[in-house]
Amino acid sequence: MSPGRLPAALPATLAAVILLIAGALAGCGSTPAATPSGPAVPVAAPPLQTSFADGTGTSWAVVEMGGSAAQEENFWEMFARPAGAAAWRLVTPAGVADNGGLVAAPAGRASLLTGFLPSQDLTFSPLADTSDSGAHWATAGPVNPGLADVPDALAARPDGNLIALTSGGAKLGQYGGTGWTRLITAQALAATPAGKPCQVTGLTAVAFGSAGAPVLGTGCGRPAFAGIFTESGGRWHAAGPAVPNAGEDVEVLRLASAGTGLVALLQVGRGPDAGTIAGWYDGTRWTLSAPLRTGSVRSTAIGPGGSVGIILNATHAATLAGPGASWRTLPALPRWAATLALGPGGQVDAIAAHASTFTDWRLAPAGWGQQQTIRVTVPYGSSG
């Protein structure tokens, strides 16, 4: 597709992507822009299977288990490994159907917010939060309409302000009784002076910058543009890096706060020739990795120190230790590897998830060694 041409229709799941923002940000002076009449261009949804480390050093992994999604026998599970601990624990919040998927966002040094994606008759997204590495959860939602099918559909600040990326309508939601207000849509962002050069094709991620300002990740229809935008003074500004030698469209796969800056994963192009680039923003400038030819990425991981990891297919994966590092191709993955989990000191684990079995494999000089197995009680037949 040539830059600037829009398809006539798009999937319903991304037809009306809305960004909602809660709490004090509702009074920040931003006036939502009018939504143009034309539809947004669909973007490829980044994979939900992921892992990340929070401010305490706790590692979190979100994987799909059970059986066929078509038969609604799939169940998304969350696991946590507290800082300094050797073992993972199953910590999925109970009481809500999670066939649609789970997304999560660190909400401060000792807090995590989790959202359930819509599925079956669930049209909104309940939220739950924990301050003890998943041992206990409290209700903290819901978001209505439901959250978008991307891993960074939620962002949280320690003061309780949130951003939620949603799909399926223009209704306002609530968080903790404080109310939600629309921030911007993909179509409206595409019509701003900041969004026009990128030719925004859809919203893919949300985050907070170091100063607490909202940050959006998008797809761009114009080559060499990385669609990262931030709001200040009631206006949106392009904040992404230029991507040298990118002759194809660029899409933000992941966007997360990292210390005083941001870490991003960018996909350049589509299909088997697509490449992946990692980017780190230190509050002043961006540092980009060399591109790695990956095709479509199967899962992503963000670890301590801005480390990142990706799984390309059933056997191939790669990691980056942080800014300035080179891609490291890993040995052939264990069977059923769903995501990588990155720890301190360059530690790399492969999390395998198959049916009701969770297995942690640790990479050592001699290869992958099995560390732990958890048998999960999968409620087959409960979703019919």
Residues of the chain with pLDDT under 50: 1-42, 168-175, 384
Instruction: Please give the pLDDT value at position 20.
Output: 43
* 3-state SS, residue 247: coil
Phi, psi dihedral angles at 211 (to 5 degrees)? -90, 5
134 and 89 in contact (C-beta within 8 Å)? yes
305: left (phi over 0), alpha (psi -120 to 50) or beta: left
* Residue 104: CA count within 13 A, CB half-sphere: 34
Could you give phi then psi for residue 149, rounded to 5 degrees? Answer: -85, 60
Cβ(181)–Cβ(172) under 8 Å? Answer: yes
Cα separation values, 276 from 4, 139, 295, 296, Å: 23, 36, 8, 9
pLDDT of residue 143: 86
pTM of the complete model: 0.86
Judge contact between 168 and 12, C-beta under 8 A: yes
Residue 23, both tokens: 């709490």
Domains, the chain, in order of start with CATH, read 14-29+46-375 (2.130.10.10)
What is the rounded distance in angstroms from the CA atom of residue 97 to the CA atom of residue 223?
A: 40
Residue that the structure tokens 């991304």 belong to:
14
pLDDT at 73: 81
Per-residue pLDDT, 166: 85
130 and 111 Cβ atoms separated by less than 8 Å: yes
| Rounded-to-integer distance, Cα 132 and Cα 130, Å | 6
